Structure 1
C-alpha cells in the first residue's frame, strides 16, 4: 500500500507540473526529439493533456488503496481496468489526428 501511495503522490506531482504547461522534458519520447521536431508540436497543449492523464491515473490508483484498506478485491480489479483503459485511451488520443501539431 505504501508503494501505491508514493506512486499516487508522484503522479499528482507530475500532473501539477505538466498542467501548468511546463515539464515537457518529463514526457517520454518528446524529450528525445530533435529541436526542429519539437518546434512542430504545441508543447503547452501536450503538457496540459498529459497532466490531466496523470491526475486520471492517480485517481484510479485510489481504488487500489481502497481495495487494500477495505479488503474488497473488485475495487482493485476496477482500478486496474480503469488504469489500463486510461493509458490506452491517452495513447490513441495523443497519437491520432495530429491534435498537438502546430
Structure 2
C-alpha cells in the first residue's frame, strides 16, 4: 500500500503542477469552480488575472507540500506523509481566503 500511496501522491502533484502552469499562463478560468459558473456581470467584479496568478501560486505551493508527503513515503516516515497532507490543506484554505479577499475590484 505504501507504493500505491506514493504513486497517487506523485500523480496528484503532477496534476497540480500542470494546473499551476496553465494558470500561470493566464489560461484555465473555466477550471476554477464557482468562478466559471458566475454570470458575466458578476465576473466583471473580479480581476481575472489576479485570480489566475494566485491560483498558480496555490498550485505550486501544494506541489511543494505534496513533495514532503512523497519524501515521507520514500523514506518510510509516516509523520512526513501526514505533515505533507496537513500543509496541503492549510495552503489551500489560506489561498482560497486570500483569493476571495484580494481578487475583487
For normalisation by structure 2, the TM-score amounts to 0.88
CA deviation map 1:50-102 (0-9, x unaligned): 01000001111111111111101121121122111101211221223xx1122
Moved over 3 A (4+): none
For structure 2, which runs of at least 5 residues remain unmatched after alignment?
Answer: 1-5
1:25 shift after superposition = 0.8
Q: State which of 11, 16, 25 in structure 1 corresponds to 2:21.
A: 16
For normalisation by structure 1, the TM-score amounts to 0.91
CA deviation map 1:6-57 (0-9, x unaligned): 1111100000010122211111100000111111111011001001000001
For structure 1, which runs of at least 5 residues remain unmatched after alignment?
Answer: none
The reply to whether residue 78 of structure 1 matches residue 86 of structure 2 is: no
Aligned length: 100
